[in-house]
Structure 1
Amino acid sequence: MPFWEKVAVGLGGMTMFHGNSTVKATAMPFFNMILGVNPALLGLALAIPRLWDAFTDPVMGRISDRFHSRYGRRRPFIFCGALLMGLSFGMIWMVPTGWSEGGIMTWFIITSLVFYTCFTVFSVPYTSLTFEMSPNYDERTTIMGHVTIWTKLSELTYQWLIPAAGVLLVWGLCSDQVAGIRAVMWVVAVVFIAGFGVAPAIWGRERYYRVQAKEVAAHESAGFWKTVGQTFQNKAFVVLIGLTLLQIVAGMLGSSLDYYLLVYYMFDGDVVAGSVWKGALSSAYAGCGIMSIPAILWLSRRTSKLITLRIVYTLVILNGVIRWFVYQPGNHIFIFFDAIFGSLYWIAVSTVKQSMMADICDEDELRHHERREGMFSAVFGWVTKTAVSLSFFAGGLVLVFVGFDAQNGGQQSEETFLGMRLFMVIGGMIPNLIALLLLQLYPITKERANETRRVLEARRGAV
């Protein structure tokens, strides 16, 4: 693939990140802290789209796989989905502030459901496109590396959106906080969601489009529900889902408990100081992640995706030991060691695992005579998003279990702090140890992937 095409397709990673994260990250300060909406109602409203995704994601996957047009089966949806995402995202923040709490929540639920529906229209075909950009085993990982770069750049900046609105207010460019947030969010909507989102549709190529048309014409296709079931009959896909669920469990315990330990254990309940260091840690994760992408790509090319993941899982397990020593009062300056080693984990997840999905789609075509990246992307995405939603609930249960009480501030019991540290360290190490063992069941080696490509090209021609 030409370098410029990889960059163009990678730009969609910015849109993907804002679709996944920005509403959830900014809804609480805007609707709760500024407009005064009940946080419990807001939490429920944020969970509703996950239920809606259970229906829309697989349907969009099926539509994208079977669609035919002069522009391909993915690109029309990517283009339209990005534009509609930008418009609906901006409308979320245009709620009339004089309405009652019920009216404000109704606005938020309706506009967020529209936004997440548009996000599905964009995200499922876009993710599918990244899977089918190249038939080459190693180049697939490089493509995912470009997507990850833009995702990490978004991660560096999105937490500063609310502060940016405050800057506009201080400079006199907006009349109040609400106007400032609306201005910032419309910039995100127009530039980073719609603008970046259309780039893959304009400059990306669908190399498997003719292959799919040929396969469908020659072989009878399975129905919708049978296709969903067949994704779970793919051993490699099931193992990858298992690895992802373990990653979410480990990540939930790490990213939530480290915040509480910073605030209540290391800074004696000082929310401001703890939040500043949490923000610095998050930025360090993103920065170290960007810098480690070339190392992950080099390692994957020199060895294989499986060996790369084994090395990364081992390093993350060792990082658990580092966490035990750095998350203690007076050691906050050393928390950046956590970012150095931990960032490798998330980069490997974003690049290597997504690249493995493309190999799984080859295996599926070999067996079922059809390119079904859309369905695999949809099922995988829905399982992941559901697990993330449940992980927030599980994180709250952990805090209750260890006896945490926010009213006590930094005066929590020694047993509570010990429980929090153990859950963060061991709760992060054990899932990754299980993942390291589960990885032994993953059947697609580099040699097998190359052989599958050879058989497919002999059967239906090269891409």
Structure 2
Amino acid sequence: MTNLLSLKEKLLYSCTSIGLNIVSTTVSTWLLYFWSPPPDSGRPQYLDITLVGILLTLGRFWDAVIDPLIGHWSDKTHTPWGRRRPFLIFATPVTVITLLLLWTPPTFSSGIVNGCYFLFFTVAFYTSLSLITIPYDSSLPEMAATPTERVSLSMWKNIFGTLGVLIGAIAAAPLFERFGAVWMSLVVGVILIISVLLTLLGFKEQAQTKSHSTKFSANLSNIWKNNQFIILSLSTLIVQTAYAMLLANLPYFVTVVLGKPETNVSLFQGVVVIAMMLAAPMWNWLAKIYPHRYLSMVALIGLAITSSLMFTVGLIPEVNTTIQTLVILSVLAPFLGGYLILMFALMASVVDYDELLTKQRREALYYGAFSLSSGMGLALATLIVPYILTVYGYTTTASLGVRLVFLVAAVIVVLGAVIFQGYRLGDTIEETKLNLDLK
């Protein structure tokens, strides 16, 4: 394990979160809208919204399935550059290229050509992005030795990640409306390259002293026998479904319910990001006092309550819808930020618990399997959102579907919180042994 990290090391390590979050959030926010805008928006419909949802689900499913393989590959990689660096170096330019191609449909009308093109480059994009994300995220337990350090490092990752979302919120929407999606993605791609290069300047990998099973099937089988990992993964799958629903629904909400232009999406994203950044030190402070699992439950309950309040926007007489939305998002954001900070600290405890049981460390494989759960949640969201919008409406005269997405997301978060109650790992090995009555 590493010694305590300096502030410089934490900041450099966290830089990649800027690029990854701006890329992921930009795609999650705008891809569905770009290919299937509201019928009365005046934009071309490249694909039917239901078909886009199905194809996105296939792409997300592929991404989820290969994540454990990427994790295993990273754990087993031995190069002069280490186990994680080669993935960051070589996958980043591929990610940028596929990102650009996501926004260049071959025809202006919905059909099989556009469908095949969309599926191919969606799969290519998510695959290359995972080749960065899995090795990067799985290095956190190596970088940080103690629970306090892990939350601190996760906090900085979250702050930098939300900073990336803020940059994207400010730049993406105006670029999308004025110059088009390709220019938007080019700016986002350049930021990703710069952020990864900065991380590589301060990236440290620890020499591995633990033995590893050489078979992927054996490693994966042991992972899915870890009941605490199953609980955390299932809860994450459900909560990530709700999170992706909120992101995908925001452009529709702003343009349909609030009646604002597309550039205003950045205003509401910016409020969320700023509130998350301001609340991050609070979660870091609380994590030094209270168990991470208790704080995670608070974050989930708060996220469920505030998400449900978005359903009421526009339904309360004499209340300005823009102000109401800004207030609700300002309260929602700290709970969302807290969940995202604590999630990675909880996963680090899972890796330690696995080492206690098996005497092996398989960080990247665990984070890959964890990403599988997150990916499945994103895949479910791409099915649920188009279905709700199609059935209940997503136009200015029939906007119930847009509101319902928030209410359904809130119910889904509650389900995730119920499942998370079974998580019993402590923030240290000693606490875990006490909680699970292990000797």
Given the two structures, how large is their TM-score scaled by the length of structure 2?
A: 0.81
Say yes or no: does 1:404 pair with 2:392. yes
Q: Kindly tell me: are residues 162 and 39 of structure 1, through their superposed partners in 2, closer, same or farther at Cα, counting changes over 3 Å?
A: farther
Say yes or no: does 1:299 pair with 2:286. yes
Q: Kindly tell me: are residues 450 and 261 of structure 1, through their superposed partners in 2, closer, same or farther at Cα, counting changes over 3 Å?
A: same
Instruction: Judge conservation of contact 1:246–1:431 (CA < 8 Å) in 2.
Output: yes
1:339 to 313, 329, 340: 329
Give, in whole Å, the separation in 2 of the partners of 1:112 and 1:321.
Answer: 31
Name the SS for the 1:10 alignment partner. helix
Higher radius of gyration, 1 or 2: 1
Residue 72 of structure 2 corresponds to which residue in structure 1?
62
Deviations 1:342-388 (A, max 9, x none): 11222122111111111111111122222111111111112211221
Instruction: Judge conservation of contact 1:359–1:449 (CA < 8 Å) in 2.
Output: no
Instruction: Judge conservation of contact 1:61–1:376 (CA < 8 Å) in 2.
Output: yes
Instruction: Judge conservation of contact 1:9–1:204 (CA < 8 Å) in 2.
Output: yes
Residue 185 of structure 1 corresponds to which residue in structure 2?
185
- 1:20 partner letter: S
Say yes or no: does 1:17 pair with 2:21. yes
Bigger drift between 61-70 and 149-158 goes to: 149-158
Give, in whole Å, the separation in 2 of the partners of 1:439 and 1:380.
Answer: 14
Deviations 1:319-347 (A, max 9, x none): 36755665534422122232222112221
Residue 229 of structure 1 corresponds to which residue in structure 2?
221
1:357 to 341, 347, 350: 347
Residue 440 of structure 1: CA displacement? 3.6
- 1:231 partner letter: I
Give, in whole Å, the separation in 2 of the partners of 1:199 and 1:183.
Answer: 23
Deviations 1:391-448 (A, max 9, x none): 2322344456xx62457x4367xxxx5x9867744x4554444444444421212354
Give, in whole Å, the separation in 2 of the partners of 1:30 and 1:202.
Answer: 36
Residue 444 of structure 1 corresponds to which residue in structure 2?
425
Residue 6 of structure 1 corresponds to which residue in structure 2?
10
Say yes or no: does 1:164 pair with 2:175. yes
Q: Percent identity?
A: 19
Instruction: Judge conservation of contact 1:65–1:375 (CA < 8 Å) in 2.
Output: yes
Q: Kindly tell me: are residues 21 and 263 of structure 1, through their superposed partners in 2, closer, same or farther at Cα, counting changes over 3 Å?
A: closer
Residue 127 of structure 1: CA displacement? 1.1
Give, in whole Å, the separation in 1 of the partners of 2:109 and 2:384.
Answer: 33
Instruction: Judge conservation of contact 1:165–1:184 (CA < 8 Å) in 2.
Output: yes
Deviations 1:185-211 (A, max 9, x none): 33322x21222123333321113xx2x
Given the two structures, how large is their TM-score scaled by the length of structure 1?
A: 0.77
Instruction: Judge conservation of contact 2:166–2:274 (CA < 8 Å) in 1.
Output: yes
Give, in whole Å, the separation in 2 of the partners of 1:436 and 1:338.
Answer: 21
Q: Kindly tell me: are residues 44 and 296 of structure 1, through their superposed partners in 2, closer, same or farther at Cα, counting changes over 3 Å?
A: same
Name the SS for the 1:141 alignment partner. helix
2:47 to 34, 38, 58: 38
Give, in whole Å, the separation in 1 of the partners of 2:98 and 2:81.
Answer: 25
Give, in whole Å, the separation in 2 of the partners of 1:37 and 1:314.
Answer: 38
Give, in whole Å, the separation in 1 of the partners of 2:109 and 2:326.
Answer: 44
- 1:14 partner letter: I
Residue 242 of structure 1 corresponds to which residue in structure 2?
234
Q: Kindly tell me: are residues 411 and 79 of structure 1, through their superposed partners in 2, closer, same or farther at Cα, counting changes over 3 Å?
A: closer
- 2:423 partner letter: Y
1:18-417 matches, cutoff 5 A: 18-28=22-32, 37-40=46-49, 42-93=52-103, 106-159=116-169, 160-161=171-172, 163-164=174-175, 167=178, 181-189=181-189, 191-207=190-206, 210=207, 212=208, 214-216=209-211, 221=213, 223-251=215-243, 270=259, 272=260, 279-319=266-306, 323=310, 328-329=315-316, 330-331=318-319, 332=321, 333-399=323-389, 404-406=392-394, 409-410=396-397
Structure 2 portions without partners, runs of 5+: 38-42, 434-439
Name the SS for the 2:392 alignment partner. coil
Name the SS for the 2:71 alignment partner. helix
Structure 1 portions without partners, runs of 5+: 168-176, 453-463
Name the SS for the 2:283 alignment partner. helix
Give, in whole Å, the separation in 1 of the partners of 2:373 and 2:14.
Answer: 23
- 1:130 partner letter: L
Residue 241 of structure 1: CA displacement? 1.5
Instruction: Judge conservation of contact 2:59–2:126 (CA < 8 Å) in 1.
Output: yes
Residue 98 of structure 1: CA displacement? 9.6
Instruction: Judge conservation of contact 2:18–2:195 (CA < 8 Å) in 1.
Output: yes
* Greater relative contact order structure (CA < 8 Å, 6+ sep): 2
Deviations 1:119-157 (A, max 9, x none): 222111111112321121111011111111222122223
- 1:3 partner letter: L
Instruction: Judge conservation of contact 1:310–1:436 (CA < 8 Å) in 2.
Output: yes
- 1:200 partner letter: T
Give, in whole Å, the separation in 2 of the partners of 1:325 and 1:112.
Answer: 34
Q: How many residues align?
A: 419
Give, in whole Å, the separation in 2 of the partners of 1:348 and 1:421.
Answer: 24
- 2:369 partner letter: V
Name the SS for the 1:302 alignment partner. coil
RMSD in angstroms over aligned alpha carbons?
3.5
